[in-house]
Amino acid sequence: MTLDITVVEATHTRRGALCGRLLAELGAEVVLVEPPDGHPLRSVVDGSSRAEHYFEAFNVGKHSIVVEDPASDTVYDDLVSTADVFVTDQEAADAGPFSESDVRDRTGSVIYCSVTPYGRTGPRKSHSDGDLAVQATTGITATSGFSDSLPAASAAPVAATFGAFVACGTVIAALYGEDANDSIDVATQDAVLPLLTTLLPEYFATEDPVGRTGNQHPIAAPWNAFKATDGWLYIVAYIDRDWERFTEAIDRPELAKDERFNSVSNRREHADTINEIVRSWVGDRSIEDVVTRLDEEGLTAVAIGHVDSAFEDENLIHRGMRIESDSYVVAGSPFAMSASPGEVRREAPSLGDSAGFDSRGDGK
Amino acid sequence: MNPLDGVTIVDMGHVTAGPLASWLLQPLGADVVKVERTGTGEGGRDVVSPSEDADADGYYFHSKNAGKRSASVNVKSEAGRDVVRGLAREADVFVENFAPGKLESLGLGYGDLRLENESIVYCSISGFGHDSIDQGQRAYDSILQALSGIMYVTGYDGDPPTKLGPSVMDNLAGYVAATAILAALYHRSKTGEGQHVDISMQDSAAWLMQSRLPFDDDRTANQPAADPYPLSGVFETRNGEVAVEVRSAVQRRQLERLSAVNEFDGSLEDAIAAWAAELTTEDIVSECTSVDVSATPVRGVDEVSADDHLHERGTFEAIDCDGKWRTLPISPYRTAMPDSSASPATGGPGLGQHTDEVLMDVLGYESEVVDELHEEGVVE
């Protein structure tokens, strides 16, 4: 395993829990510090099997101890004083039991990593917000969805996930670097800001607001979602060679020579007409018919899937990314590394399963 | 000290995920040498903006390549491949995001470069992995969004499955790669061992989406999917839109009270929608905040780029890009671990701007040899 270290994780949201999960995949012994009534992610969802499944997704590979009062708990104090890394996601990181000063009072040499929406500096520091808010405040929501509909939020934990990769990476950078900064301040907003780099240039050049284009690519066609008789497909065939093959696939080779469509920029200009052409061809066919026909021409078309079908994909399973127990499915580790691969090593802990966890010995 | 001081990354990435991975790491102290094809350079130089404004062009390239050096090498020639092999001998990390098999066919795959440098960390980023059962599938960001399930948990009831505007899957693979490279460097520092890091967009997307597995994907009028939270969504106000997130039953009751749902014939969502439509975004935010419910204005790109908080944190910085000042995002790996000794950021390199210095300083070539390589069209 890559990381032979102990991590104490005092979190209450998805962003911090995902960071702990990544460190566990890379070999760290991650001890989740839970209040007596359990981590909030244990109870956010109604229904016991769903609640358990949801908790698993964030916490496989970890240990758990229950700490009622960090100020007086000697097991907690012992654990923190020997930890290599302390991860928290509480917003008010300046004071209180999981603050940097409190943790450093217990041990000087720890890498302290906070994962918060806006970071520990700047006007919005310590402000509490969830994923939806960070998506909204960073321009992701405003630029997603259809121009005639509300801006589209996503229920996927986008900001938390990007933030978790930054947090895990910077913790390792601090372990790796000589005399590196050991106080890490991850803002999930910072983590997702680079996603805007396809949209910022338009704004900086024109100072016009950047709109939403739904599923249509802003500068290429065909590049859109289309409805077949039994569901939705995504089709990309915008380069010259693909467009030519596409016109053959739909039995309208004359369109390849049509001067409205004979270059990438002309097709972009006439994207609406192209969308109509594709729509009418796809509209009375099944997904399978369309995919099979376009596949024969070496074109790119896929059924738009739900998350459960994504996890049934043969290639994903081939790569060990579907981890299945009796009651749940979670993802494997995306760290596909030939010498020290990431790995999900155990189920999520039951509450307090490692009460006697000893970071100096062989943790349970 | 910067954690990656002394680390050299050879970047044969193009457009997004590959260049992004080394861009994320460069401000931690790494010396990143881009190896680009002669003539046009990597494809990211040609990314155009929808505005068709010349000022906008180039922004994308700078945003993924700030702070790097560029050496322009014709890898179709044996002498050019020798240059790359030489760089691999001196490098700690090699990053590429070509289709699987492409660099192997040029004799620049992991198996080849490991012969030059046994401890090299060779990171490949591809749509479906080098170890994959289907090498033919092309991997556009939109295709990965379509396959991952994210389009059914984004947007609203009545809309088609909806993709996120930003290229979330291209970008995510770059972040996974950057973090995996750090893990591989750490592993090497403990064991001396190099390795092949095989990052896949499909794997990364699955990791992002896994916590949606326990739920149905039913979207509603205002929220992308009901669970896990009791209510969350976007509502139109008198002067914009606001994102509201309810994370507990207590918060839900507060919203019920505020929006007077009891006097309303319909769902809580409908009640909030009617309530929000009467007020300004600022009023909604202030009323919700007063009862501890999260409410955030939906901000456009214009507002984000002028955000004091981001500028104060150094997340946005004005950078001299070849004589033109551009406001670029800074690597979140850098803002998470600030270091006052870090050198100021510079824009992306011109094509081949550092070819000669790389050949002479990194590879130790004599200037006559460099001149010959230029004459033979091996480098530019």
Q: Are B95 and B88 in contact (CB under 8 A)?
A: no
- Assess A198–B contact: CB distance below 8 Å, yes or no: yes
Chain A residues in contact with B223 by the CB 8 A cut-off are: 153, 155
* DSSP sequence for A235-289: EE--SHHHHHHHHHHTT-THHHH-TTSSSHHHHHHTHHHHHHHHHHHHHTS-HHH
- Put simply, the answer to whether B225 touches A155 (Cβ < 8 Å) is yes
Chain A residues in contact with B146 by the CB 8 A cut-off are: 225, 233-234, 302-305
Cβ pairs bridging A and B (under 8 Å):
494
Q: What's the full length of chain A, in residues?
A: 364
- The residues in A 34-93 lying below 8 A from B, measured between CB atoms, are 44-45, 50, 53-54, 57-58
- Put simply, the answer to whether B232 touches A234 (Cβ < 8 Å) is no
For residue A287, the distance in angstroms to the closest alpha carbon of chain B comes to 13
Q: 């809580």: which residue's tokens?
A: B268
Q: What is the pTM of this model?
A: 0.97
- Assess A203–B contact: CB distance below 8 Å, yes or no: yes
pLDDT, tens only, A15-47? 999 999 999 999 999 999 999 999 999 988 877
pLDDT, tens only, A40-92? 999 888 778 889 999 999 999 999 999 999 999 999 999 999 999 999 999 87
pLDDT, tens only, B127-136? 999 999 977 7
As a whole number of Å, the end-to-end CA separation of chain B is 34
Encoding tokens for residue B30?
Answer: 């790494």
Residue A362 pLDDT grade (very low, low, confident, very high; cuts 50, 70, 90): very low
- Assess B215–A contact: CB distance below 8 Å, yes or no: yes
For A15, which residue in chain B has the nearest alpha carbon? Answer: B208
What rounded mean pLDDT belongs to chain A? 94
Residue A363 pLDDT grade (very low, low, confident, very high; cuts 50, 70, 90): very low
Q: Is B149 exposed, middle or buried (0-12, 13-18, 19+ CB in 10 A)?
A: buried
CA B243/CA A142 separation, integer angstroms: 11
Encoding tokens for residue A341?
Answer: 């691969």
Question: How confident is the model at residue A258, as a pLDDT?
Answer: 96
Q: What's the full length of chain B, in residues?
A: 380
Q: 């960070």: which residue's tokens?
A: A134
Question: How confident is the model at residue A354, as a pLDDT?
Answer: 86
- Specify the 3-state DSSP secondary structure of A105: helix
CA B262/CA B260 separation, integer angstroms: 5
CA A283, chain centre distance (Å) = 33
Question: How confident is the model at residue A87, as a pLDDT?
Answer: 98
Q: Are B124 and B180 in contact (CB under 8 A)?
A: no
Residue A356 pLDDT grade (very low, low, confident, very high; cuts 50, 70, 90): low
Nearest to B179 by CA among B150, B145, B203: B203
Question: How confident is the model at residue A219, as a pLDDT?
Answer: 87
Residue B52: which residues within 8 A CB-CB, separation 6 or more? none
Q: Is the pLDDT of residue A107 over 80?
A: yes
Residue B265 pLDDT grade (very low, low, confident, very high; cuts 50, 70, 90): confident
CA A39/CA A19 separation, integer angstroms: 15
- Assess B271–A contact: CB distance below 8 Å, yes or no: no
Residue B264 pLDDT grade (very low, low, confident, very high; cuts 50, 70, 90): confident
Q: Are B17 and B170 in contact (CB under 8 A)?
A: yes
Question: How confident is the model at residue A93, as a pLDDT?
Answer: 64
Encoding tokens for residue A12?
Answer: 């209450």
Considering only the beta carbons, identify the residue of A194, A314, A318 that sits closest to B329.
Answer: A194
- Assess B168–A contact: CB distance below 8 Å, yes or no: yes
pLDDT, tens only, A166-211? 999 999 999 999 888 899 999 999 999 999 999 998 888 888 889 9
pLDDT, tens only, B308-332? 999 999 999 999 998 899 999 999 9
Report, as an integer, the average pLDDT of B213-218.
87
Q: Is B168 exposed, middle or buried (0-12, 13-18, 19+ CB in 10 A)?
A: buried
For B52, which residue in chain A has the nearest alpha carbon? Answer: A202
**B36: phi then psi, degrees, rounded to nearest 5:** -120, 150
Evaluated on CA atoms A304, A308, A312, A316, the torsion sign reads positive
Report, as an integer, the average pLDDT of A249-274.
95
What rounded mean pLDDT belongs to chain B? 93
- Assess A157–B contact: CB distance below 8 Å, yes or no: yes
CA A142/CA B300 separation, integer angstroms: 5
**Is this prediction's ipTM beyond 0.85?**
yes
Report, as an integer, the average pLDDT of B81-98.
98
Q: Is the pLDDT of residue A251 over 90?
A: yes
